[in-house]
Amino acid sequence: MERDPVSRLIVISNRVAAPQPEGEGGAQGGLAVALSAALREYRGFWFGWSGNRIEEFTGKIDFQRHEGVTSATIDLEEQDVEEYYNGYANRTLWPLFHYRIDLAEYDRSFGAGYERVNERFAETVYPLIEPEDLVWVHDYHLIPLGRQLRQRGVANRIGFFLHIPWPPARLLTTLPDHEHLALSLLAYDVIGFHTREWLESFQNYVERELGGRCDPDGWIHVGDRSVHAAAYPIGIDYREFSEAAASEAARSACERLRKSADGRRTIIGVDRLDYSKGLEERFLGYRRFLEENAERRGEVFLLQIAPPSRGEVHTYETIRETLDELSGRINGEFAEVDWVPIRYVNQGYGREDLAGFYRASNIALITPLRDGMNLVAKEYVAAQDPDDPGVLILSRFAGAALQLKDALLVNPYSKEEISDAIRQALAMPREERVRRWRSMIETVRSEDVVWWRRRFVAALAGEDVEAAGSARA
Ligand code: G6P
């Protein structure tokens, strides 16, 4: 998509999309996929951590060009990775922001490492920023970066987008130094959330804890600072995904799964192996379905693709062990010589394979306990056969539920609701499936990743946001 090069866009995030080694496509996460597309549209570059660890931080930048996107990456020290990425980002903020204060760890060394790495990012990137550049910072790893850049004299427009939920004020106040973290956000010009729910939690926090004022037009005022905050629900790259779904590789993946299903109905789940995804509860809900519907055993199976993630964090080791044990137990309990109820797969797949698997599946079971958005739900919808689409069962606690209202929405904590929804999906007449799908595909197609980034970048550039389309979420 050509556009006037009015200004460059500089994207900054912890991870920078890199060519994925064979078989690891599924582990990349929605953020990386969405931003590659954004950077192809604008000039500029993408700055972040290389994923490498070195003995002593040098600040050396490695520039690379891949598929039309320039990336600029730095290496971090072992201690940085431990305190900033494994520590504050993934042991403190990730669980807290997903409402799991029982799993959140508060440790001063994590907070110090988080600030230090944000300073390192700022120190390295600020000489590369030109006066007219728009700067777009992403996700919970880099909340203080805007403040760090301002302290170095960066006067550009800087935006921040949070790809995960913003927790309710009463949870956030359990974080020591929560005011410091939240006040950092006031250094930005625009703050984006996926849904109104996360935005409202933020506004509520600002009013209760910071004594700020939130105007109905999105302006937030705290002391002498004003910042614009709004909901910008992210979408999939619909065009690119449709092409992937129409590829030969997708067709053969679809055929492969259909053949192995051997006339059985397939229920699919695809998630990073993360406790926020509700995999344990999902398995238990499916188990309840098998228990209550003995006559349907042998007619269906659950294909759960769950590539391991953040393996150095012990809560992730624990959830992995729990799922190994639970899937084994359910299979042992219900399997027959010629049927296994759960195919539990710990590897990631590329987009084309996934598109084929989605199309071959009668039901998608996507039941995170809490999720900023969830793009798998949208990809599943995009991959369906318009004449004979599958059924999406979706957690009401995923951001996507606010847009995909025609999915079967369930409470992911309830085994009964999951079991009932599977039964309802299996019995759903084609007419109803088509009706629900048509309404969902309309949203997936029109509120895609291009729509998302245009709205955000328009706001960042100070243009009329509503002219770029209004949000339903
Ligand atoms: C989520 C986060 C992203 C992150 C991705 C993968 O989608 O919002 O910021 O990149 O998970 O997690 P990882 O820790 O492997 O980068």
Res 26: pLDDT: 40
Ligand 1 atom at shortest distance from the alpha carbon of 141: 9
Catalytic residue chosen out of the listed positions 98, 138, 141, 163? 163
* Closest to 90 measured CA to CA, from 74, 114, 116, 112: 114
Res 242: pLDDT: 94
* Closest to 267 measured CA to CA, from 421, 403, 436, 401: 421
Which of 309, 374, 379 has the most ligand 1 atoms within 8 A of CB, as the residue to mutate?
309
262 catalytic? Reply is no
Q: Output the furthest CA–CA distance in the chain (Å, rounded).
A: 70
CA–CA gap between residue 392 and residue 386 (Å, rounded): 14
Give 433 Cα–ligand 1 centroid separation in angstroms: 32
Give 31 Cα–ligand 1 centroid separation in angstroms: 7
Ligand 1 atom at shortest distance from the alpha carbon of 163: 8
Asked if 394 and 430 touch (Cβ cutoff 8 Å), the reply is: no
CA–CA gap between residue 72 and residue 198 (Å, rounded): 31
Res 39: pLDDT: 81
Res 27: pLDDT: 39
Res 36: pLDDT: 74
* Closest to 228 measured CA to CA, from 237, 218, 236: 218
How much is the pTM?
0.95
Neighbours of 294 (CB within 10 A): 9
Please state the three-class secondary structure of the chain as a single string.
CCCCCCCCEEEEEEECCCCCCCCCHHHCCHHHHHHHHHHHHCCEEEEEEEEEEECCCCCCCEEEEECCEEEEEEEEEHHHHHHHHHHHHHHHHHHHHCCCCCCCCCCHHHHHHHHHHHHHHHHHHHHHCCCCCEEEEECHHHCCHHHHHHHCCCCCCEEEECCCCCCCHHHHCCCCCHHHHHHHHHHCCEEEECCHHHHHHHHHHHHHHCCCEECCCCEEEECCEEEEEEECCCCCCHHHHHHHHCCHHHHHHHHHHHHHHCCCEEEEEECCECHHHCHHHHHHHHHHHHHHCHHHCCCEEEEEECCECCCCCHHHHHHHHHHHHHHHHHHHHHCECCECCEEEECCCCCHHHHHHHHHHCCEEEECCCCECCCHHHHHHHHCCCCCCCCEEEEECCEHHHHCCCCCEEECCCCHHHHHHHHHHHHHCCHHHHHHHHHHHHHHHHHCCHHHHHHHHHHHHCCCCCHHHCCCCC
Which of 12, 13, 15 has the most ligand 1 atoms within 8 A of CB, as the residue to mutate?
15
Res 466: pLDDT: 55
163 catalytic? Reply is yes
Give 3 Cα–ligand 1 centroid separation in angstroms: 29
Give 299 Cα–ligand 1 centroid separation in angstroms: 35
Neighbours of 429 (CB within 10 A): 8
What ipTM is given for this predicted complex? 0.99
Angle between helices 375-382 and 238-245 (to 10 degrees): 50
CA–CA gap between residue 433 and residue 387 (Å, rounded): 9
Res 465: pLDDT: 56
Give 429 Cα–ligand 1 centroid separation in angstroms: 37
Ligand 1 atom at shortest distance from the alpha carbon of 30: 7
Res 7: pLDDT: 77
Catalytic residue chosen out of the listed positions 133, 189, 371, 448? 371
Determine which residue's CA is closest to atom 3 belonging to ligand 1.
31
Res 340: pLDDT: 98
Determine which residue's CA is closest to atom 1 belonging to ligand 1.
29
Q: Cα–Cα–Cα angle for 17, 18, 23, nearest 5°?
A: 105
Determine which residue's CA is closest to atom 9 belonging to ligand 1.
139
CA–CA gap between residue 346 and residue 354 (Å, rounded): 14
Task: Give the pair of three-digit tokens for residue 347.
Answer: 């590897």
Q: Cα–Cα–Cα angle for 402, 403, 407, nearest 5°?
A: 90
Determine which residue's CA is closest to atom 11 belonging to ligand 1.
29
**Ligand 1 pocket, residues with Cβ under 6 angstroms:** 15, 29-31, 139, 163-164, 309-310
Task: Give the pair of three-digit tokens for residue 14.
Answer: 């912890």
Contacts of 272 (CB under 8 A, 6+ apart): 27, 29, 306, 307, 309
Residue numbers in the chain where pLDDT is lower than 70: 1-6, 18-34, 37, 464-473
Task: Read off the pLDDT of residues 340-373 as tens digits, 9 standing for 90 and up.
Answer: 999 999 999 999 999 999 999 999 999 999 999 9
Res 33: pLDDT: 64
